[in-house]
Amino acid sequence: MPQLCPSMWMLYYVIVTFVLYSMMTMIYFMNINNSNYSENLNLKNKTISNLSYLSVSSVFKSAL
């Protein structure tokens, strides 16, 4: 993995944060439209934690 200049790192982190934020807002609006809110909440929380873990691990893998 070649070394990235700081502006590239900044852009990369901004993109990752934006993707996570958009996914969370999408899930939030889906929850508003759902009638069985509490049933889906556990699954949604699990999905959010898995996606955030995957993005963080990909950041660390590219940093190494």
What angle do helix axes 6-33 and 37-63 make, rounded to 10 degrees?
170
N-to-C CA span, the chain: 8
Nearby residues of 42 by Cβ (< 8 Å), 6 or more positions away: none
Which pLDDT does position 4 carry in this prediction?
61
Locate 20 and state its tokens.
Answer: 């996570």
Along the chain (64 residues), what's the average pLDDT of each consecutive run of 10 residues? Answer: 69 85 78 59 68 74 66
Calpha distance 15→22 (Å, rounded): 11
Decide: 37 and 31 in contact? Cβ < 8 Å: yes
Which pLDDT does position 42 carry in this prediction?
64
**Domain boundaries in the chain?**
6-63
